[in-house]
């Protein structure tokens, strides 16, 4: 499991899990009741659903994809304060 020490660590943890095709690590970033809507508008609920949604595409069409996430820490901090 990827350890996070700061809120912005969530982005790096997502990026690391995605780029390493580690769906268990990706799933560990979500709350057990999380919902996820894919870019193809497929809706799933729960960690198991999120993993099942991503595993097949990471084994095929996304097998060579790379995800690079960037966000302003200021924007992230504001979002966390509003949560």
Round the average pLDDT of the chain to a whole number and report it. Answer: 86
Return the closest-CA partner of residue 58 out of 43, 38, 34, 44.
Answer: 38
Is residue 62 one of the residues assigned to a domain? Answer: yes
**Which residues are bridge partners to 35 per DSSP?**
45
4: in domain: no
Q: Which DSSP string do the residues of 9-39 spell out, in sequence order?
A: HHHHHHHHHHHTT-HHHHHHTS-TT-EEE-T
Q: How far apart are CA 7 and CA 76, in angstroms?
A: 8
1 falls within a domain: no
Range of the domain at 17: 9-82
Ramachandran angles phi, psi of 42, nearest 5°:
-95, 125
- pLDDT confidence bin for 2, thresholds 50/70/90: low
23-49, pLDDT tens digit by residue?
999 999 999 999 999 888 999 999 999
Indicate whether 37 belongs to any domain.
Answer: yes
Instruction: Give me the number of domains the chain comprises.
Output: 1
pTM surpassing 0.85?
no
- Within a domain: residue 61? yes
Task: Provide the pLDDT for residue 78.
Answer: 79
């Amino acid at each position: 499991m990827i350890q996070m020490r700061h809120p912005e660590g969530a982005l790096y943890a997502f990026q690391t899990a995605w780029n390493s095709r580690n769906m268990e690590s990706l799933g560990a970033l979500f709350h057990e009741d999380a919902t996820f809507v894919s870019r193809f508008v497929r809706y799933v609920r729960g960690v198991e659903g999120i993993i099942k949604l991503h595993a097949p595409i990471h084994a095929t069409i996304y097998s060579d994809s790379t995800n690079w996430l960037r966000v302003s820490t200021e924007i992230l901090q504001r979002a966390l304060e509003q949560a």
